[in-house]
Structure formats: C-alpha cells, structure tokens
Structure 1
C-alpha cells in the first residue's frame, strides 16, 4: 500500500469513526467470515462486493490497531474498482444511518456511526437500540429512505 492511499484510508476511517470492537479476536473472526463469503460468491458483482468487504475488514482492523493481515499492494489496474466500491458502499451506509437519525430527530445524530447493511429491518432496529432512538420510528424512516437511497450490496 502506498503512503498516499494508506493516508486516505486512515482519514476515511477517521471520518467513519466506528467504535473499536472487543475482544480483539472480533477482527479476525470478521475477516474469516468475509473471506468465506468471498470464496462462495458466484457472480462478478458478488465477488466485487465481497472483495470490498474483505479489504474493509483488513483496513478497519489496521486502523483500530489490531492488524489481522496486510492489505494487498495497491495496483491501480487491479484494485481501483474494489477500493472505489468499498469507499462508496460504506460511505453510503454511514450517511444513510446519519440521515435516518436526523430525520428521526435523534438528539445525538452525530454519534450515529454505523456501516451494517441497512437492507434488513432487524438491522435498523439494532442500530436504533444502540443509539437510544425509537426503533419503530427509525424502522419507518429507514424503510422510506431505502426506496430512494443508493445502497450497494
């Protein structure tokens, strides 16, 4: 990884501001899960999405100072699409949750820093409960937002 792209990822993870996970084995377990999903992906689209999840897991662990593996050296011809997809996918999710919190008039919407896939209602409820937001309202707003929000699988 070049210093410039490494700095970009550090800055991006800083903007996302995701909570550190505990125990540290969470990072290894998450990477194993993502690698399994990557291996079982069938279509090119699924492989791109799952590869971006693998890179996200590795870069997040590095950012949180629990390195589980090195990121592959950045080669524009091989990785630019995967990194662009990863940045778009997780930034859209992060912004989705922040927007939903604002629309729900959450008093501390700025503390909502989530990137789990919001395509399922139970994820919306989990996020609402983590942030003391009315889960019924958050699910309603999230459902409406999903109709217009560009989310990548």
Structure 2
C-alpha cells in the first residue's frame, strides 16, 4: 500500500476540512473549517501534514512548536483508512518535525472516550499528565473530559 506524505499548504485547505469532518463529525464533534485551517497554518510555529494512500486522501495532522515544547493540534484519519497505519505515519511525521525543531516535549489533548486514539498515543509512549474537565463540547451539547498527554522527546 503506497503512502505519500506531504506538507499541508494553502492549496490543501478544502481537503483538510473534508478529512477533519469525515473523522470527527461521526464522533459528535464540530469539524474544523477551511478558515480554521487557514488561520492555524498562518500562525507562527504551525506545521501540517497530508497523507495520501493509493491516490486518495487518508489523513492529516497539525502541530504547533513554541520554544522547546510542541503540541499536536489535531490528527484525523479517514474512517475507511483507520487501522492501516495512517495514524501512526502521521504521528511519526509530527514527532520527527517537532524533534528537528528542538522541541523536548510533545503534548496533546484527547477525548477521554476516544479509546482508539488513546491506544495509538499510548503505543507511541505518550503518558497522561493531567485532564481538562468538560473540554470537548459535542454537537449534542454533551461535554467530555480531555486527557492531557505528553511524550518526552529528549
């Protein structure tokens, strides 16, 4: 299976928004818009990746680097491409990028009820370091706690 990873750029905003919607709307979360991605990519220290598998959009990841810390802002994998290594490949790209920039820690927030994502992050060595009560607001109005996780890069 051929995976092609590229930098997420201004010409990819519609693709990014579509991937995010396909990944998060079924979970009851609000999808990021084209404008959300444009604003984030224009922010200092933000980098993004787009993953294609066999010519089709499979996933994306966005991270932000500030001094010696980095944050995974989002990672989204198309439902038809889950459990095929796409999430791991995107996470690898983020880790390599932030490590090369001098970051010593990579943080993320993950919904407490998102077991597949928590399992992926755990397999990479991320460890829980805190939580944010009612951090995620579902479209239904329900709130879900976020688990803050950290990966040491040193």
- Tell me if both proteins adopt one fold, taking TM over 0.5 as the criterion: no
Q: Based on CA coordinates, which of the two structures has the bigger radius of gyration?
A: 1
Q: Hey, which of these two has a bigger chunk of helix by percent?
A: 1
Q: Which has the higher strand share?
A: 2
Query: What TM-score does the superposition give when structure 2 sets the normalisation length?
Result: 0.31
